[in-house]
Amino acid sequence: MISLSDLRQFKQQGRKISCLTCYDASMAKAMELAEIDSILVGDSLGMVIQGHDSTLPVTVADMAYHTAAVRRGNQHAFVMTDLPFLAYATLEQTIENARTVMQAGAQMIKIEGGAWLADVIQVLTRNGVPVCVHLGLTPQSVHVFGGYKVQGKTREAADQLIADCQAVVDAGAAMLLLECVPAQLGKEVAALFPQIPVIGIGAGVDTDGQVLVVQDMLGLNAGHVAKFVRNFMQDQSGATAIQDAFKAFHSEVLAQNFPTQQHSFQGDL
């Protein structure tokens, strides 16, 4: 089973990290056979599994249920789980909810925000819970942003995001996830924190790893397809097509062939 230490070592070696979302045992098993490095049990399940128009209705019980299913199906990948909307509003809530998903099988919890999370991160880390902090476009704050928009496009905004990264790393964050930021900013953040794996989604090829929502990379998304998405099912066929798509994603990430410039954003940096 891949550990956090393995992911850190991958970064030191310059080896990229593959990560996909997953919510059930059968997909998790296919990812194990494809040797995907990391699985995110994401609150994106609210949209792609439950049919909501945002992640906000997802509960901690939902996250624990799907985490347990994924862990039963996969004994290879490093598994991290989202704490959903308002599940970490107070320290007491955070500790209880982190315990729930860790006991379900997560190896790390992921929370969205910036410097204001420092106290939460310190408490979780002190209690043996590794934390990934999600910055940039954070879907739980979609109503604050006024929609799904690229973040950090100006130098001022980029510097603020970097300051938030520094604050959460200083507090003990063990991983960062950057969503929808200019490729140059993704590269800067990955270089600024040599001990911390930085995973990107729409953050350019120079982050330490790449994550996609599994339904997106299998071409199962209905309607709008985000710029950073690539359909890895297009060149696959036969009974093992899904597993082959996972293998293709893994190999393309490791070879730094994904994402390309067409899957990345630019800013005025």
Domain boundaries, given as residue ranges, for the chain = 4-263
* CB-based contact 252:137 (threshold 8 Å): no
In eight-state DSSP terms, residue 106 is -
pLDDT at 235: 81
pLDDT at 145: 45
Q: Is 188 considered catalytic here?
A: no
Q: How many CB atoms lie within 10 A of CB 95?
A: 16
pLDDT at 144: 55
Helix and strand numbers (H, E) in the chain are 11, 8
| Largest distance between two CA atoms of the chain | 50
Q: How far apart are CA 104 and CA 102, in angstroms?
A: 5
Cβ contacts of residue 225 below 8 Å, gap of 6+?
Answer: 216
pLDDT at 231: 95
The pTM of this model reads 0.95
Print pLDDT tens along the chain (269 aa). Answer: 999 999 999 999 999 999 999 999 999 999 999 999 999 999 999 999 999 988 999 999 999 999 999 999 999 999 999 999 999 999 999 999 999 999 999 999 999 999 999 999 999 999 999 999 999 998 776 545 455 589 999 999 999 999 999 999 999 999 999 999 999 999 999 999 999 999 999 999 999 999 999 999 999 986 778 999 999 999 888 878 999 999 999 999 999 999 999 999 998 88
Q: What is the 3-state secondary structure (H, E, C) of 66-94?
A: HHHHHHHHCCCCEEEEECCCCCCCCHHHH
What number does CATH give the domain 4-263? Answer: 3.20.20.60
112, 179, 188, 252: the catalytic one is 179
pLDDT at 147: 56
pLDDT at 140: 72
Enter the tokens of residue 72: 């039963």
Sign for the CA dihedral angle at 233, 235, 238, 244 comes to negative
* CB-based contact 139:147 (threshold 8 Å): no
